[in-house]
Amino acid sequence: MLLIKAALATVLAWQFAMHVLQSPVPFYAPMAALLVVDRTMVRSLSASAQRIAAVVLGLGVAWVAATFVGVNWWTMFVVILVALVIGRWSRLGDHGIQVPAMVLLALITAKGTDEDFTSLTIIETIAGGIIGVAVNALVFAPLHLTKPRQRVKALTDQVRDLLLELSDGLRRGFDAETARGWYRRGGDIADRTRFIVDDIRTGQESTRLNPREGIRPADVHWEGYEITVKTLRHVLWQVTGIGRTLVDAADERHPAPSPDFLARYADTLASMAEAVQHFGLHDEEATRAFDRNIEHAREVLVDLREEVRVTPLDDPEQWPVYGSLISDAMRAVHELEEARDEASRPTDTGPLRVTPTTGPWARLRRRGAGAAER
């Protein structure tokens, strides 16, 4: 859809420049329209403003240079250098390259002082930006709601499944290769969380200045989604620590924990997995299940820590292994508990949109309800 809208905006701007502005070379309007159709309305408006500013600055630099120093081979170096420096201004974003480009075009093709060229170029760029933004807004304005919700839910499932796999593996027995797989998998999932955060922020940005969102607002807790992802990323860091410790134990770099310890530790991981399953859900049943599993995980870890502290070990080298496993799990439990109230997660059955109480959509619904009653 975005590609179709970009093509449509380009054609409309081209025709506008030809038939309305009577441009002899209708290039700047379609180029501006093409470049400002973006994934969100905020980005479209920002791109339009940046491109117009870059074109005006470039033409301004060309006019000053041509008027006061003239156009020749030795002044071109200084002028282009100044234009390149201006083009690196962060406020111009990706459109900063237009500053030196416009300087070259203006100086080489119009000697920098052609008022008709300068004014028509600016007008074309403004018209193209307006057409691009208008097409992006009126033709299915970009609203990114589904993908971030799906990815947040998928992340929760992946973390839960990894914890359950760890728990089952500790009960059945594991080798170095299995533990290394847990370690790598946790790291891979954690690395991908930054892309999920980007999707969430894009989704939230897509609701701003969006006519579709203004007509019918979406019931999406963006901040809560981001907290959920960041918390699960912190949990994954601890899970990778657990995996690394198990790799060392399986490789016999450190003594392996006792079977009894591993069985009870597996119960802790299973409870954490159940807590993750209900993490970010705030109905009464989910909250009770989350609290119950977090409390159980903590109780087991506290008991294990106390037993390790007071029970003589056959091998003193086991202390680091026990301490690392208990500490990583305790930190993961703490991360989940601390974010309990602020985290939010999409559900399969929860409404994506709510019925607004104000605005044109609400008035339309009230009229429809009134007509139905009559």
Domain ranges of the chain: 2-138, 146-338
Arithmetic mean of pLDDT, 141-154? 90
Packed helices 28-36 and 115-138: angle between N→C axes, nearest 10 degrees: 30
pLDDT at 69 > cutoff 90: no
Going by C-alpha positions, the residue among 83, 108, 111 that lies closest to residue 97 is 83
pLDDT band at 307 (very low <50, low <70, confident <90, very high): confident
Considering the chain, what is the average pLDDT of its residues? 86
| Least confident span in 234-238, 265-269, 362-366 | 362-366
Arithmetic mean of pLDDT, 184-213? 91
List phi, psi (to 5°) of 69: -125, -15
pLDDT band at 372 (very low <50, low <70, confident <90, very high): very low
Going by C-alpha positions, the residue among 338, 334, 326, 340 that lies closest to residue 290 is 340
Long-range Cβ pairs for the range 159-165 (8 Å, 24+) = 159/189, 159/232, 159/235, 159/236, 159/239, 159/276, 160/273, 160/274, 160/276, 160/277, 161/273, 162/186, 162/189, 162/236, 162/239, 163/239, 163/269, 163/270, 163/272, 163/273, 163/276, 164/269, 164/270, 164/273
- Tell me which of 176 and 158 has the higher pLDDT: 158
pLDDT at 232 > cutoff 90: yes
Arithmetic mean of pLDDT, 41-70? 89
* Residue-wise pLDDT tens digits, 309-367: 877 666 666 677 888 999 999 999 999 999 999 999 887 544 454 444 444 434 444 44
Arithmetic mean of pLDDT, 160-186? 93
Arithmetic mean of pLDDT, 134-147? 90
Instruction: State residue 254's pLDDT score.
Output: 67
pLDDT at 371 > cutoff 50: no
Is CATH 1.20.58.220 the right assignment for the domain spanning 146-338? yes
Please state, in angstroms and rounded to a whole number, the distance separating the CA atoms of residues 216 and 125.
Answer: 33
Instruction: State residue 368's pLDDT score.
Output: 42
pLDDT band at 65 (very low <50, low <70, confident <90, very high): confident
Kindly report the pTM of this predicted structure. Answer: 0.79
Going by C-alpha positions, the residue among 113, 123, 133 that lies closest to residue 38 is 133
pLDDT at 164 > cutoff 60: yes
| Least confident span in 78-82, 126-130, 299-303 | 78-82
Residue 258 has a CB neighbour count (10 Å cut-off) of 15
Q: Is the dihedral of CA 61, 65, 71, 74 positive or negative?
A: negative
Instruction: State residue 351's pLDDT score.
Output: 46
**Residues in CB range of 215: below 8 A, 6 or more apart:** 359, 360, 361
Share of the chain above pLDDT 70, in %: 89
Instruction: State residue 208's pLDDT score.
Output: 86
Arithmetic mean of pLDDT, 22-37? 91
- Could you write out the three-class secondary structure of the chain? CHHHHHHHHHHHHHHHHHHCCCCCCCCHHHHHHHHHCCCCHHHHHHHHHHHHHHHHHHHHHHHHHHHHCCCCHHHHHHHHHHHHHHHCCHHHHHHHHHHHHHHHHHHHHHCCCCHHHHHHHHHHHHHHHHHHHHHHHHCCCCCCCHHHHHHHHHHHHHHHHHHHHHHHHHHHCCCHHHHHHHHHHHHHHHHHHHHHHHHHHHHHHHCCCCHHHHHCCECCCHHHHHHHHHHHHHHHHHHHHHHHHHHHHHCCCCCCCCHHHHHHHHHHHHHHHHHHHHCCCCCHHHHHHHHHHHHHHHHHHHHHHHHHHHCCCCCCCHHHHHHHHHHHHHHHHHHHHHCCCCCCCCCCCCCCECCCCCCHHHHHHHHHHHHHHC
**Residues in CB range of 324: below 8 A, 6 or more apart:** 241, 242, 245
